[in-house]
Structure 1
Amino acid sequence: MQHKLTSSVNLVLLVVVFFALVFLNNQLLSSARLDLTENQVYSLSQGSKQILKEIDEPINLYFFFSDKASKNMTSLRNYANRVESLLTEYETLANGKLKLRVLDPQAFSEQEDQADQYGLTAANIGAAGEAIYMGMAATNALDEQKVIAFFDPQKEGFLEYEISKLIYQLSEPEPVNVTLITDLAIKGGQNPMTGQVDPAWTFLTQLEQLYQVEQLDSETTSLPDNTDVLLLIHPKEYNDALLFAIDQYALTGGKILVFLDAHNESDQMAMMAGPMPSGNSSNLEPLLSAWGVQFDSEKVLLDALAGLDIRTQDGGVTRHFGFVGLTTDQLDREDVVTSNLEVINGASFGVFSQREGAETTWLPLVRSTLNSDLMDVSSYAMTQDPQELAKAYQSNNKTYVLATRLSGPSHSAFDKAPEGVEQSEITTSTDNLNIVLVGDSDMLADRFWVQQSNFFGQTIFTPFANNGDFITNAVENLGGSDALISIRSRGVFSRSFSKVDELTVIAEQKFRDQEQILQQQLEETEQQLLQLQNQQVEGGALVITPEQQLAIDEFMQKKITIRKSLRDVRHQLDKDIESLGNWLKLINIAIAPLLLILLLMLLRGIFRTKPRKAVAESKEAAVL
């Protein structure tokens, strides 16, 4: 009786301790996290944490996910759980400044009307075409709103960046001010070569729709105080006062985007002067040297693999090694500026390299292919025939950096302020440089990335390359906070089965080998049939000898045998993968729990043995 009472008391105590621990965990350890994933995909980066600390007014997050309509969509539901877990992490670390609500926009519900009102995308991928929502809307205290229309699983690497950017935009609603300095005729006007009025370059039109843009020329000596992003296009012959202003702007936390050029082919005045062996290259050397980077303004990139096809004067088509189209293989897929771009077109790129002893962090964004060469600017400018460029080309099996991001520590290019510049204090260094350098300015010209057409009197712009997206992404990225810029591509929570992939590759290799055998046999059959067609026709039918008929029958039998072997290979592939899956299930479902039970039994035996020994020892002591 006493034993039963003791067991009941122990059970009650265990229940009390359990609920006490749960209560303490919720009250004291609710913000504690332990992320054991390889790439810390469930944890926020330092940049995101900094953005959360800087939130002044509360922000409401509304995560819409069609939970009921996606019952059979395992992959999508797993990703939705990933998004919700990350949003919960944001809410936890925001100290009450973020309020998350998870809504299921079922058909004909108020939640669905709310999702439509916010402008979220409804993907018709559910059962019977039912709409599936998986997006987020956010509002701040000023009733401004931002949305992520749909969380694309293909862009999981930038999930944290997109959420942090949305939160930052709502916490800092002021528009981005872009100061643009160039002497190129990007605003359009009368073309001195054709006499016609050219429209403004499309990239400028896009920037003016998104940001506050103020354009200056190279004669300016200072920068506007409200500059958020400084955009330099084909800088040439800048005066010392302007160079000093740019230098100080960079060292005091300013963000700069620079389009340099080894040979600008879109400068109308320069083109009217004829081929220029020198003098049509960008020059920002004093600042580049201080930033730890070198731009080769005397060499132009030739790329045989990335060369674009152009139309010649006689109506033909030829490849121009100096006009290049850079695709995903040449773009950094982990940087938010270039991650989603497909192709960037440009002409006469100059190349960048790090200076020896540079302290800045070097992050290439765009590279050439291995089929590249460098050509003197003077020779390139004097060569009008693309075929001559192809003859002069010699591959050195080396890639060149065509665009790069600079960050980290840097020093001033000036020991003192230039004459005529009144500035009492000079910033001599920084630990937080933020600069993006591009080795071509021609890529901004319409002819390299956008096509214009007239539709009932309205000009329609149709891009065929991502040049405009590149500059927009760069300005948007630089226009954010330093914390936002620091957030790069993160790992993904879904991991591929490497062993399954290995089995697939091996089986597909066997499949291809068998396929080649079958293809060879088919070619032999075609040759035999061709010989049969050349036979004389007797009585309106082909004359086939017994030997020929025997050969055809033998081939048909081989064909059946080979096709059977192909099916066996594919079946073996599925069998190997299924076998591996069964072993994994056995380990997870049976063996792992069994090992855990054995471990617990072992520990129980150890702990039960010790008290018995202690009791025995105490009895012996009592007897003595």
Structure 2
Amino acid sequence: MSANSAQTRRINAFLQIAFAGIIFLGLNYLGNAWLGPIRADLTNDGLFSISPGTETILISLEGPITLKFYFSETVAGANPAIFRYGRRVQDLLEEFEAASDGKISLEVIDPLPFSTEKEEAESFGLQGVPAENGVTIFLGLVGFDDTNRLEVISAFSEDRERFLEFDVAKIIYLLVQDKKPKVAILTNLPMRFGPGGAVAYMQGLGQPYLIYRQLSQFFDVVYLENNFNVIPKDVDLLLLVHPPEMSAEQLFEVDQFILGNKPAMIFVDPFAEVSPLVQQNAAVTFSEQVPPASDLAALFENWGIEYNPDQAVVDFNRGQAVSVGAEQNAVMRNYIHWLGLRSSEFNADNPITAFLSTMNFASSGALGFDGREGLSFNPLVQTSDGADLVPAVLVREDVDANVLVQTANPAGQYTLIGRLTGTAQTAFPEGVGNKSGLTQGPINVIIGADADIFEDRFWASIRRDNFGRDVLIPIADNAAFIINSIDYLSGSESLISLRPRGVSKRPLEKFQELRRTATEQEEAEKSVLRTRLREVEARLNELEKNTPEGEAYNSASEAEIQNFRNQAMGIQRNLNQVQRNLTANIKTLETKVILMNMFIIPGLLLGLVLLRFGFGKRKRRQ
């Protein structure tokens, strides 16, 4: 009888699980059929909802916008990944259309092989993806305004799925702009041509900075040469990035531009990381050389800004783990002068930084303010409270990371970027030469102490997708901050809340903390071993020096020398083993954290199911 009861309970349990599965599938089917587009967005960044920034753009539409979405739905049916993403894009475009109050008209076009629609897609420059049987899959967007101005997304890439809303909103934003703000750039960084200079660029061996290309999309960018005499009157914003040393006449031009109620952004640096890369390039001309440090002392001192180009910031809590050396022999180093800052270090009350998640800095300086009357300086980006200042020469000479750790005292917080506002006095009350101008005026300037935030390697990567196309993937919000700042200062804030939604690589904060702890423990052990090694080597040298040249060691000295040599070799082996252990421990730790993130939720659900059935069995026995 008991055997039959047990069998009956097993059958009942199986039937309950099967019935629950049927109910789940049925509800899923009915939900898709009845609820249609109704959904709940449970993602942390709201990736599947239209953001307030998009709503602002759509509300501001005055004339009609036509969006033509070329989606090879028929052909893509044989490629599930492209088909799924095409439907995802179409869903978002339909949300744009629904939220536009009739201002956006969406046309979904399936460009079949050999059709006029396919020819039309190609005429707009859309990039098709070769599929089986020689057919081409299109997944692109063309936007028109009522004057037939044109903006195109040549191909949507699944690698940029988290950037999808921004990419679509951007072309609408560009269509409704009557005039792009004009931004004048003065910089010593090789932003236009890359570290190889103009010659390498013309030979196809160099590329402009990614941020320079993005700025050119949104703004009318003009370049000021280092020997400029005047800032054009139609410039809306001045951007100084690692600026060259300027003459009094040039500084006067900058001073008067800012006092004329025009915004500016200034980024100086105690050490521009690209400087040695440029100096090592034989093709770079003298005028293209990048000095290691920059300053704007004449204006900073007049505004009460405190900045020392001979000091660099280190942060024990936000230092980045960097792989150093050849791939097979690479070791992990905690670069406390390369900072990965998080939202907790950003000003949450300022729209420029309120939506940012992470920014990367390298060998940054620090900013202070002396409370100059009539002016206020509000931090936008700061370090953690575990930061300190070290001599900039240490980072310029690329000293061992352990030297920085031993030099610094992690006990403070420093401002890396801030905004200066108020009424300022001119730095040139007597004018310059025969020039005179404004003696005071409103000031609106964003000042940063690191120019490396513009460099590609610190915020972006280029990935080649499955179809051989290069796709820009931000790994930090550096570009978002720069473009947000220009938008904000020039009075255009619509896209600010969209850009940072697309950061693809978020740090596992707990893992970074554990890795930092492991690195510090291993480095402490290595420090003890290095001290012992120096002592042994010193004693060995002393014994060898005390033996006159050409004479043989006596047996006691020879034995002692051999003993110390063996100790030195043993300590060196231990040092190598400690480094191997560190690398292995970090990899093991990373694997554990990733596995925990992958399986903890399914494990909890399975535990609840087992608990439910265990409780049911116990209740039936009672």
Q: Highest CA radius of gyration, 1 or 2?
A: 1
TM-score relative to the length of structure 2 = 0.49
TM-score relative to the length of structure 1 = 0.49
